[in-house]
Amino acid sequence: MGGCLRDELASFGPNALRMDWKGFILDQMGHFSVYDVPNLVFAILVAAGLGYGSGRFGLRGTAADTRSLTVWAAVMALGAGIVRSQLGLAVVLLGILLFARPGTQEGPPRSALVLVSVLGLGCGSGAALIMMVLAIPAVLLLRWSSNRRTY
């Protein structure tokens, strides 16, 4: 007892610093494995495609409606992928959705608010590295949906 930090690092041997960085990176992956990332990106893109198809061909709505449905589908796939079967995260996601209810019109669009909230939920649950990767398709979809041009 009462050993110094040098003695604690010595227990890792010559790879002590490298082990700390590996541990830090793995801690930021949360409950995801490396193989879950492409699966979740695929799920987000499929959900976006289904949202687009629903808005474009099913609803026959305006371009803005279709883009909004596309982003909502992608954000919900991201949220479900983060939550999985964790009750605590599911309750927090429910709170986020209630927070972004239809009555709040000032500020950014609700889909953007829910997207950044879900990304924050993922970072807060210990999956910051995964959220950085998954934010790329989500932000690109959000950027596309804010386009004012029609088809």
Query: What pLDDT, in 10s, does the model give residues 84-102?
Result: 878 888 888 888 888 776 6
Residue 47: predicted pLDDT: 92
C-alpha closest to that of 76 among 102, 52, 106, 44:
44
Residue 21: predicted pLDDT: 73
Residue 151: predicted pLDDT: 44
Name residues whose C-beta falls within 8 Å of residue 36's C-beta, 6 or more positions apart in sequence.
130
Residue 142: predicted pLDDT: 83
Residue 113: predicted pLDDT: 79
From the centroid of its chain, how far is CA 126? 12
Residue 45: predicted pLDDT: 92
Q: How is residue 121 written in tokens?
A: 């939920």
Residue 15: predicted pLDDT: 59
Residue 106: predicted pLDDT: 65
Q: Which amino acid is at 53?
A: G
- Rounded Cα gap, residues 134 and 107, in angstroms: 24
Structural contact between residues 64 and 151, judged by C-beta atoms closer than 8 angstroms = no
Counting as low any pLDDT under 70, the low residues of the chain are 1-19, 101-108, 148-151
